[in-house]
């Protein structure tokens, strides 16, 4: 049981990290260990009311996500972080430095999360196969070919929204384009990808529940 809960938490972390790669370059340096808002309520400390309050004050959702993460490493709240960010050239680098948060160290954590996720790849592959219609063997071959879960999840989501074959997306990435550039070139909106990530998260819970029932 503990192992299955861990898989859900790890996938949740990866999904948020994947979404962050779609943000502007300065934001991509933020890791996602404690990010807690938006379409990922199971990882949340900022509730939906607080999120909406901040949006009503004019802050963008992507900035609220980043501010929430930085706030977890300080004694400040997200709104205080956002206020400083807004008053200082809207630079996350300067904002993080002001509050004593090292973006480079945070970014290194993401690589460790990918490694932990690989330890539970069978469950995740099953979810991605169900979500995309691709066979588990295909997804396994992508991993063996050097593609990360991070890229596969983003690629499948972009593929579904845009109607582009994922192999073409892999080629775009190999040609030097970032996930954010690919998303822009294929005219895919962040909101659409958030919805797809939420679908993947729902599917992983479903698979784990089925496995749990079978072992009873």
Q: Quick one: pLDDT at residue 165? A: 96
Say whether 11 sits in a helix, a strand or coil.
helix
CA 128 to CA 201: how far, in whole Å?
10
Residue-wise pLDDT tens digits, 53-86: 998 999 988 888 788 878 878 899 999 999 999 9
8 A C-beta contact, residue 166 and residue 155: yes
8 A C-beta contact, residue 72 and residue 34: yes
Q: Quick one: pLDDT at residue 108? A: 64
Residue-wise pLDDT tens digits, 165-213: 999 999 999 998 888 889 999 999 888 888 888 888 777 777 666 766 6
Is residue 42 over pLDDT 60?
no
pLDDT band at residue 35, thresholds of 50, 70 and 90?
very low
């Amino acid at each position: 049981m503990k192992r299955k809960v861990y898989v859900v938490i790890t996938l949740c972390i990866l999904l948020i990290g994947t979404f962050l790669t779609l943000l502007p370059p300065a934001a991509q340096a933020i890791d996602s260990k404690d990010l807690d808002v938006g379409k990922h309520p199971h990882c949340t400390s900022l509730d939906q009311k607080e999120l909406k309050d901040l949006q009503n004050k004019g802050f963008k959702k992507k900035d609220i996500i980043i501010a929430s993460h930085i706030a977890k490493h300080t004694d400040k709240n997200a709104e205080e972080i956002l206020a400083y960010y807004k008053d200082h050239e809207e630079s996350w680098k300067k904002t993080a430095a002001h509050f004593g948060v090292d973006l480079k160290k945070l970014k290194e954590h993401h690589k460790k999360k990918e490694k932990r996720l690989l330890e539970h790849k069978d469950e995740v592959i099953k979810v991605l196969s169900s979500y995309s219609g691709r066979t588990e063997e295909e997804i396994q071959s992508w991993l063996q070919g050097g593609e990360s879960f991070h890229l596969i999840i983003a690629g499948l989501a972009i593929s579904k929204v845009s109607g582009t074959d994922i192999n073409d997306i892999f080629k775009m990435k190999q040609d030097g384009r970032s996930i954010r550039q690919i998303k822009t070139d294929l005219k895919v909106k962040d909101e659409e990808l958030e919805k797809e990530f939420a679908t993947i998260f729902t599917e992983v819970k479903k698979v784990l529940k089925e496995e749990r029932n079978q072992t009873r």
